[in-house]
Amino acid sequence: MMHIIVCMKITPKSEQVRLDPNTKTIIREGVENEINPADKNALEAALQLKDKHGCKVTVLGMGPPIWESYMKLAVSMGADDAILVSDRAFAGADTLATSRTLAAAIRKIGEYHLIFCGEESSDAGTGHVPPSIAEFLNIPQITFVNHIEIIDGRIRARRVLEGAYEVLECTPPVLLSIEYGCNTPRFPDFRRKRWVDKEFKLRVWDIKDLELNEEEVGLKGSRSIVEELREMGLGERARQKITGTEDEIVAQILNIIRPYIKK
């Protein structure tokens, strides 16, 4: 049975993303959270392969204990297992420290064939984590994928380019970052949700479980440091007030746009 690990992040809703001026990190408390939208597309892609090929799907997240309900939501949607990597030592991690921690958790999970990630997170939007995990695990990667097939044990993926696409084939293990919006994530199964609420036990791993040290994770293990935050004001748009009769206004508008109209 093919095993798919889906890396999932919980992010503040985009309109509520705020930065702490002292720590210069994203404020996680007191905001409404959601499963990162691109990660929901990654989960749906994995569940579609499960429906078709009987794959096992494990969801992996790194964050505080309050993420438990979101991890369970992924199981309600159809994932077979969920693991939350949670420790105060992981707080403040940049993309490098985050990738190192998730890669260590994937090694602990053991045998896997595919790793799915959303192409980027809605709060930071760097797109660094998927390729960094692949580098830590020393496996190939295919980015910006919007369609996946399993054919005779090989992975065939369609990768989006500007104005075109590529079709690539690869032998597992391989990491794929999934394009945001490439599918429609399913709703939770409410009968399955009742089982999850009553019986499912989320596994939670800390820094000792991953055999990492505090110098390589979290803020201490980060190499990108935000030194300054500045709020940028919106620039003023160029304006021109036109007055006169209707014919005069039309003539003035034509004079303004005529230089930009290609003959």
pLDDT (tens digit, 9 = 90+) per residue, 87-123?
A: 999 988 889 999 999 999 999 999 999 999 999 887 7
C-alpha 21, offset from chain centre: 25
**Per-residue pLDDT, 25:** 62
Q: Say if 11 falls within a structural domain.
A: yes
Q: Say if 253 falls within a structural domain.
A: no
**Per-residue pLDDT, 76:** 96
54 Rama sector, left if φ>0, alpha if ψ -120 to 50, beta otherwise? left
**How many distinct structural domains can be found in the chain?**
1
Angle of CA points 139, 140, 142, to nearest 5°: 140
Residue 16 has pLDDT above 90, yes or no: no
Q: Say if 233 falls within a structural domain.
A: no
Cis peptide before 173 (omega within 30 of 0): yes
Comparing 149 with 18, which gets the higher pLDDT? 149
Residues 246, 129: Cα–Cα separation, whole Å: 57
Q: Say if 243 falls within a structural domain.
A: no
**Per-residue pLDDT, 188:** 93
Q: What's the pLDDT band for 23 if we cut at 50, 70, 90? A: low
pTM here is 0.82
Q: Say if 29 falls within a structural domain.
A: yes
Q: Which domain holds residue 54?
A: 3-216
Q: Say if 76 falls within a structural domain.
A: yes
What count of Cα atoms within 13 Å lies in the side-chain half-sphere of residue 215? Answer: 0
Assess contact for 62 and 88: CB atoms under 8 A.
no
Length of the chain: 263
The CATH number covering residue 178 comes to 3.40.50.620
Residue 3 has pLDDT above 70, yes or no: yes
Q: Say if 261 falls within a structural domain.
A: no
Residue 17 has pLDDT above 60, yes or no: yes
DSSP string, 104-153: HHHHHH---SEEEEESS-TTT----HHHHHHHHHT--EEEEEEEEEEETT
Q: What's the pLDDT band for 181 if we cut at 50, 70, 90? A: very high
**Per-residue pLDDT, 219:** 86
Residue 68 has pLDDT above 60, yes or no: yes
> Whole-number mean pLDDT of the chain?
90
Q: What's the pLDDT band for 263 if we cut at 50, 70, 90? A: low
Between the alpha carbon of residue 254 and those of residues 141, 241, 263, the distances in Å are: 52, 14, 14
Q: Say if 254 falls within a structural domain.
A: no
